[in-house]
Structure 1
Amino acid sequence: MLLSLTYSLLIFLSIYLLIFFTARVLANNFYETIFRELITKFKLPVFLLFLNIALIIPLILHKKSKFLYSALTQFLEISIIFIFSWIIIKSMHQFRLYLAQKHRIDVEDNLKARKIHTQYRILERVIRILILFFAVAAALMTFKPIRSIGVSLFASAGVASIIIGFSAQKIIASIIAGIQLAIAQPIRVNDVVIVDGEWGSIEEINLTYVVVKVWDRRRLVVPTTYFIDNIFQNWTRKSSFILGTVFLYTDYSIPVDEVREELDNLLQDNKLWDKKVKVVQVTDTTEKVMELRILVSAKDSPTSWELRVFLRENLIKFIQQNYPEALPKSRVEIKK
């Protein structure tokens, strides 16, 4: 028994060293970043997995093992199940990091990247829950008493699922809504949205809730069902390109052409403007004021916000300095 354990340990230790020696050679010669990351993250779990396999094989082959050996065999089986699950979860995490490098969301045209990240993050969470569930189930099935009543448990699973379904309707609805968000994608990571009157961007999409980062750095934690059942604004549904509006209310005497000329001056060499759209229009009139709408474009929503603030401030200053008589006023006509 001891001799077979020694042989098994030597064999699997050799395989382990060969695998990581090969990965180190590849890291030094070809894919340095990828393989160095793999060596760092998977060194411990792979070593534990090989160690458990090396110990369990002689114990399984030793048919006439005593109680201590049986207990040790069961412990090693459970260890292999959880270590293997650990390796799969870490692999999924590493693949997410690879996607973050391959499809960056901090670039101007990031629509495809946000779509991929949204789908994978939700898929990763679903698979992680399933892996943990099956790992615990497989570990429990190594115990003979539990294995013997497994058939009756499966037979009663239908009744249990109905009871659980009624008692956890909201949780199940939230999970299903999270899966719907991954497939239909009414929102994606980094989308700019208006939710319940709050302007912000999608920071996290989880199975049961979504985190919205508000412009003043607050976080709204919104149930996933909200984005299925309610109306909300998504400013970057098709692209990050967005139009910004500035409204000015002036007297009828304002020369609109002069405002257009000043807009051209303000946008010239302005890095906030993407040089696609610039319009000044009279969009409404009342008995007191005339409404001017300045329409400009920017590469994304935060830039559009900065551009709108800049234009609003400088156009008001332009009117104050050059046409103060065109500021909104009330007229009173006195007849003698």
Structure 2
Amino acid sequence: MQDLLRPLIVLGATVGVTLLVGWAADRMLRAADRRHPETPLWGHLRRCQMPLQVVLASGAIQASYDCSGVDIPHRGVVLKCVALVTVASTIWLMVRMASAIAETSLARFAATTRDPRRVRRFRTQLAMIQRIAAFLLATVAAAVAILVLFPELRTLGASILASAGVLGVVAGVAAQSMLGNLFAGLQIAFGSSVKIGDTVVVEGEWGVVEEITLAFLTIRIWDDRRLTMPVSYFNSQPYENWSRGGTELTGTVTLHLDHATPVPEMRAQLRELLEYRKDWDRRSWSLVVTDSTPTTIQVRAAMSAKDTDDWWTLQCGVREELLTWLRREHPYALPRVATAPAPVAPDGRGVRMIPQQDDDPA
């Protein structure tokens, strides 16, 4: 009975202390977050509670294993597995802490910087650095843990390092596309061609860059679909970046109208309706006749907006209001199909409708 109670007491106390420490750390972080609401770091660090408890539990189990008196077969394998759990949870904890620090830095930078382009660039670079650091940290920790905990693999590791040159050439040829995307991702992250939050037009689709990884770039299209593309595309193919150089845009509304359209009155009406629209940023506007055909004229109304959202709603609203005004005040200005005879000039010259004659004399 004692042989059973002792391990249960030791392991139960270990788990209980671990849970208590995690709960106490979470309470302290919550209190610090309430005292300092201007610093989001404490709130972000609360997400480290789970990996912290796993680290403490696995480490405590290793430390108290000899005291527990548990005698099970393959004791060395069990301890090595617990050590691997400790290493993995430590990496998990470090990644969570780095993420909390990165989000806090981004929030402070966004609060002190008025230029949204610099904020988007910093966010893109920070996310890319975080991904690279997490990948390298996990890779190095896994390699060191395996070589330290499993000495029999050291010989295999030495032989692999001895042939690293040949393996590097083979891996480079086999993973040429992946490496191209990797370097393209680094170039995008530390360049300024495209950033998270930019409005782009790719393959005829308009959307906002939502995520940039080492291999792929995700665009959230206006209808909430996601377009995922390799990052190498943005270094080899043309695309439109509407956020490059500023978020301001100029929208246009093109109408095909009759030649009798009162253009000056229409221009005054456009100016009047723009005055009460909040999506017009009051930078510029115009209404001109850009083309004419034998039956219609082409009228273009141009107006500026501060961003893509206002740009779209402004165009739709102006088009609807101008058409409504024309139907109500000047219905003759709308295009139509002419079915009446052509008018005759004042001097009597002109085209007259000749009645059709019947070819049958009977």
Matched, 1:122 2:134: no
Q: Which shifted more, 295-304 or 318-327?
A: 318-327
Shift of 1:27: 4.2
Q: Which residue of 2 aligns with 1:62?
A: none
* 1:57-110 per-position Cα deviation (integer Å, ceiling 9, x unaligned): 799xxxxxxx977656644543442222111211232234435644569x9963
Within a 5 Å distance, the mapping from 1:43-122 to structure 2 comes to 43-50=49-56, 74-75=80-81, 77-99=83-105, 101-102=107-108, 110-122=116-128
Question: Structure 1: which amino acid aligns with 2:286?
Answer: V
Distance in 2 (CA, whole Å) between partners of 1:200 and 1:148 is: 52
SS of aligned partner of 2:214: coil
Change (3 A) 1:109 1:263: farther
Within a 5 Å distance, the mapping from 1:1-336 to structure 2 comes to 23=29, 26-27=32-33, 29-30=35-36, 34-39=41-46, 41-50=47-56, 74-75=80-81, 77-99=83-105, 101-102=107-108, 110-141=116-147, 142-328=149-335, 335-336=351-352
Bigger Cα Rg: 2
Distance in 2 (CA, whole Å) between partners of 1:109 and 1:246 is: 30
Distance in 2 (CA, whole Å) between partners of 1:179 and 1:211 is: 16
Question: Structure 2: which amino acid aligns with 1:243?
Answer: T
Q: TM-score, normalised by structure 1?
A: 0.80
Higher relative contact order (CA 8 A, sep 6+): 1
Distance in 2 (CA, whole Å) between partners of 1:320 and 1:77 is: 79
Shift of 1:20: 7.2
Q: Which shifted more, 310-319 or 325-334?
A: 325-334
Distance in 2 (CA, whole Å) between partners of 1:169 and 1:214 is: 30
Give structure 1 stretches of 5+ with no counterpart. 60-66
Tell me, yes or no, if the aligned pair for 1:280 and 1:294 is still in contact at 8 Å: yes
Shift of 1:290: 2.5
SS of aligned partner of 1:123: helix
Change (3 A) 1:263 1:316: same
Change (3 A) 1:327 1:19: closer
Percent of pairs with identical residues: 27
Shift of 1:196: 0.8
Distance in 2 (CA, whole Å) between partners of 1:201 and 1:36 is: 28
Distance in 1 (CA, whole Å) between partners of 2:144 and 2:41 is: 32
Distance in 2 (CA, whole Å) between partners of 1:289 and 1:49 is: 76
Change (3 A) 1:143 1:329: same
Q: How many residues were matched structurally?
A: 322
Tell me, yes or no, if the aligned pair for 1:122 and 1:207 is still in contact at 8 Å: yes
Q: Which residue of 2 aligns with 1:63?
A: none
* 1:249-294 per-position Cα deviation (integer Å, ceiling 9, x unaligned): 2233323221111111211221111121211123333444332221
Shift of 1:138: 1.6
Give structure 2 stretches of 5+ with no counterpart. 1-9, 66-72, 344-349, 353-362
Shift of 1:53: 5.3
